[in-house]
Amino acid sequence: MSSRQFTWWRRFHGSVKLPKKYMFKGASQLLQRIEFGEFEFDHLGREVYLEDVIYEKQVKDLTIEKTYLKTKDALEDQIITFRKQYHKRKTVIMKNHLESENKLLRKLSEELDAEFKLGIDVIREVMETFDGTTRELYFKCMSMQTGKNIDPNKMQRFINEQPRHILKPKERKYVKLWMKLVKEKQWQEFLNWDQLKQ
């Protein structure tokens, strides 16, 4: 059975876990996984915006090229088909996004508690109010455990973050639409990424 049937709705490659063989021995595995981006917010929440743009383009293109459709009813039928596909894909993406985000936050709090032994309730309270990156959160927990103020910017980084928002080969026809969307939304973390232009 193909895994494609379970991920038909994905236009982008999903994030991956850092293989143990690439981890540095003696350094915190959790920190390396955080640096790799395993615990970053689920990017489906942003990728879903592409569906709006694709649907609008499909309807616009169909309306412009309607000469081959004999009647107004045929045009409406085709738009309804596009709309159904659009809503189904968007519903599945958001369902998966919310489930993944919830699971990710729970897993992160459990892993931080296992490493720093601060208590799961304390960790979750810190996560609720903390305004920084996941890596900075890690060092905040370390500071709480040790009683010392640890500056994350002075700490060695072990792993580069994995690239995100890479369209699958079949979906690369939407690169221009995605780049336009990124610029319009001013998602700064993506604006300079070469991977987006592939």
Query: Is 131 found in the same domain as 179?
Result: no
**Domain region containing 197:** 165-198
Q: Indicate whether 145 and 184 sit together in one domain.
A: no
Residue 197 sits in the same domain as residue 155? no
Residue 174 lies in a domain: yes
Give the torsion sign (CA, 89, 180, 15, 141): negative
Each residue of 97-154: pLDDT tens digit?
Answer: 999 999 999 999 999 999 999 999 999 999 999 999 999 999 999 999 999 999 999 9
Query: What does the pLDDT read at residue 194?
Result: 44
Q: Cβ contacts of residue 23 below 8 Å, gap of 6+?
A: 29, 32, 158, 159
Same domain flag for 57 and 139: yes
The domain tally of the chain equals 2
Give yes or no: residues 130 and 184 share one domain.
no
- Looking at the structure, tell me whether residues 95 and 157 fall in a common domain: yes
- For the chain, what is the mean pLDDT? 88
pLDDT tens per residue across span 63-102: 776 656 567 787 888 889 999 999 999 999 999 999 999 9
Whether residues 42 and 98 share a domain: the answer is yes
Whole-prediction pTM value?
Answer: 0.81
Q: Residue 195: its pLDDT value, please? A: 44
So what's the pLDDT on residue 4?
A: 52
Q: Are 165 and 189 in contact (CB under 8 A)?
A: no
- Tell me the pLDDT tens digit for each residue of 154-186: 999 999 999 888 999 999 999 999 999 988 988
